Structure 1
């Protein structure tokens, strides 16, 4: 029921009380909005995918608002930006991308957006894709090595310090703490793999997304296909993986979460190697999923690889 009162008919004391109640209600509604309140006054950093967003949040702490253009589970390689993405980018204060030809859509995406952007992989020693149609091109999956992500963090610390100089010291402290966690993941995997005979120190996966991790931990990499593609694995690719596993007596093989493991199961059947588990690469999971953060992702992959190759699986 609505009651309409003429302003002149309401006593001044009553109008004062109404004003207080309206103000309190407005404050409560604003507080319930959460996100807008938290973003008020903070510079906005936009990343191209969820892995970068999570790393950036750890460096930024409470001082910046960090968001990802792509959502959890999105295919980053062939992503098609929406008009909403363009609007979001135009309102950002800084955009972070991986570079290394990962985001093929990015150059066109930012062509008309007058916002500074930083390539977070700058300074990483690039590796080339070894075969298939992409042979000779840079492998973009540099974040799959914790040592490379330490470089990502350094680039973010510098960029955030320039964006928000008042909190540069905090960014440096956050970055140092995060780099220490990354170093622990790397060191633990290296220690685990030292127990293996040299010939068994091999990482066999469906896709060639682990080149940097293999290089930095002393593993020999073998994959069924170099880059995730829609077509099925060829008999030649599967046969090559089978020969590699047999010759080196590799104890376990793996596949990524974004593709079918059917081709790798054929390798398992032909060689007797164990299927070591599912590895994560391009995207984080939802908050209640197995890899809700980058550290959870890289720890999961490192623990899965180490346990399967050394026979320490539950």
Structure 2
């Protein structure tokens, strides 16, 4: 362990000297001090961090490797991230191939880690570079989200058995809220309605809702908005008379704007997927992210 910490210190020093990057988060994003005494749970992105906080309550500290607004598919860990992994008591990741950088990252950490999508029935990607692999965006389903909660409860209970009853109770209350979102989602759309987005991040939500799905690219690390992708999505929209198309906050809506103009559809940007908003924004929590997206989709497809 001392040798590993020495390597981390050297990396941080080189980073500061050569590129001017920070060895710690910016103001307002300071990671908790180990002196606080509670176990530190490190997650790969902000959505998982909020879920862990809701289950862990006052008994744990939680931090996210990626920050608000960051795109997670192609993220490159920093020396500061490696230091956080060395300090963590538990690391939580999504799995399903989402964090392709994670294997290299976690290999250097001694903390145990849990894969929160374990037990999910995966939906395969049907086109593009990752055809045949699992669509990684399972947290976008209120139904699958309840599996994530169960996995968090299990991981935290192993980490801190003294508070296992609290984790279980928090998890049950949290799952009840997700179930209410699921019930609100079901039956809201006709059997022919199509959800057309930039990224194919809504496959699991579409399955919950009984929606057909169309998108420009399956994951953000794929080529975005090629002529063929644009033409295919326009054809789907025309075939099903789709009134509204959508795009997410972490990508440019330009290609989807072209689709909307060519197909005579409206464009609603502003769907959230990979990141929460700032605390004073529209989706500061996972539940609010799902509720925000569901309401936007219901509004856009009201006449579908």
Offset of residue 230 of structure 1: 7.2
Equivalent residue number for residue 17 of structure 1: none
For structure 1, the residue ranges without an aligned partner over 5 or more in a row are 1-32
Match of 1:223 among 215, 222, 225: 215
Question: Residue 34 of structure 1: CA displacement?
Answer: 11
2:261 corresponding residue in structure 1 = 269
**Equivalence for 2:70:** 74
Larger Rg: 1
Partner of 2:128: 132
How big is the shift at 1:299? 0.6
1:7 corresponding residue in structure 2:
none
Distance 1:239 1:127, change over 3 A: same
> What's the TM-score, normalizing by structure 1?
0.83
Distance 1:223 1:230 in 2: 12
Compute the displacement of 1:45 (Å): 0.7
Matches within 5 A, 1:165-314: 165-193=161-189, 196=190, 198-199=191-192, 201-229=193-221, 231-311=223-303
Quick check: 1:276–1:309 contact (8 Å CA) kept in 2?
Answer: no
Corresponding residue number in structure 2 for 1:161: 157
Separation of aligned partners in 1, 2:222 and 2:279: 28
Determine which of 92, 103, 117 is the counterpart of 2:88: 92
Q: 1:149 aligns with which of 145, 148, 164?
A: 145
1:151-203 per-residue CA deviation (whole Å, 9 max, x = no partner) reads: 0000011111111111111111110111111111111121322xx3x22x211
TM-score, normalised via structure 2 length: 0.86
- Return the offset for 1:72: 0.9
Q: Distance in 2 between matches of 1:91 and 1:45?
A: 9
Counterpart of 1:191 in 2: which secondary structure? coil
Gaps of 5+ in 2: 1-29
Q: Deviation of residue 270 (structure 1)?
A: 2.2
| Pairs aligned (count) | 275
After superposition, give the CA deviation of every residue in 1:265-313 in whole Å (9 maximum; x if it has no partner): 222222222223421110111111221111111111001001110149x
Instruction: Please tell me whether the aligned partners of residues 43 and 93 of structure 1 are also in contact (alpha carbons under 8 angstroms).
Output: yes
Q: Please say if residues 41 and 60 of structure 2, whose CA atoms lie closer than 8 Å, have aligned partners that are also in contact.
A: yes
Is the Cα contact below 8 Å between 1:100 and 1:140 reproduced in 2?
yes
Q: Moved runs in structure 1, 4+ residues, more than 4 A?
A: 33-37, 229-232
Change (3 A) 1:171 1:237: same
SS of residue matched to 1:66: strand
